Amino acid sequence: MESASPPVRLIVGISGASGAVYGIRALQALRELGVETHLVVTDAALETIRLETDFKKADVVKLATETHKLADITSKIASGSYQTDGMLVIPCSMKTLAGIASGYSDNLLLRAADVTIKERRRLVLVVRETPLSLVHIENMAAVTRAGAIVLPAMPAFYHRPKTVAALVDQVVGKAFDMLGIEHHLLKRWEGRGEERLRSGQVKAGTRTPKSRRLP
Ligand SMILES: Cc1cc2nc3c(=O)[nH]c(=O)nc-3n(C[C@H](O)[C@H](O)[C@H](O)COP(=O)(O)O)c2cc1C
């Protein structure tokens, strides 16, 4: 996805890593932003959705514009001729990562990811596992070399999150950043001004010099 315009059609894959809530939140936010979503959910993800959230499969399906069956390799998202603005796999299990890294596309999520890479479109993988084995790390390196973006589900704490929802939004917001989607899900680091404001060292409205901002 090289265009500067925001994505309008996105494939969303939810696989069976812990953190089904990330995928659900991403679908909710994309819906609010008016992005057309093509959802594919693995069988293991149906389990994590059931175990980790109060959502039913039907509730999740309702959040997407269109849902595609995992086994349906005749689906339009299995073909590069069907134009999309990229794909987000959230969360991405180590098994799905391995499938993408090796090009072993034995379900629709893996095929759609394979197509996204071959068509040189943006693929963002919100991976989740800890600790990581060398197998996992090497698979992450392989997909990165192939052009995908590995975005571990690792929220930051500089914005002093008060709720789990705020942590989830930060990860989803970072993934949206990588896809070029404008959003207000995360609080951006604006330099040390905010910290000095809190401690009363500076008055509101005082700008922090650029040179003191963290990357
Ligand atoms: C509750 C639960 C949590 C899991 N968490 C993870 C995880 O964080 N990362 C991971 O790679 N696999 C995790 N798994 C294992 C995957 O679900 C399993 O490897 C599955 O085969 C992945 O299939 P999929 O990639 O087709 O979704 C978890 C499984 C369960 C039941």
Tens-digit pLDDT profile for residues 150-163: 999 999 998 899 99
Question: Considering only 59-63, 65-69, 172-176, 194-198, which range has the smallest mean pLDDT?
Answer: 194-198
Helix or strand holding residue 187 (H, E): none
CB 29 within 8 A of CB 179: no
Q: Which of 93, 104, 171 to mutate to test the pocket of ligand 1 (most atoms within 8 A of CB)?
A: 93
Q: Are 204 and 197 in contact (CB under 8 A)?
A: yes
Which atom of ligand 1 is nearest to 45's Cα? 27
pLDDT number for residue 214: 28
* Pocket-testing residue among 50, 51, 95, 150, ligand 1, by greatest number of atoms within 8 A of Cβ: 95
Q: Which residues line ligand 1 (CB under 6 A)?
A: 15-18, 42, 44-45, 47-48, 51, 93-96, 128-129
Residue 208 has pLDDT above 70, yes or no: no
Give the pTM: 0.90
Closest atom of ligand 1 to 93 CA is 11
3-state secondary structure of 66: strand
End-to-end CA distance of the chain: 24
CB 38 within 8 A of CB 7: no
Report whether 80 contacts 51 (CB < 8 A): no
Name the residue at shortest CA distance from atom 12 of ligand 1.
17
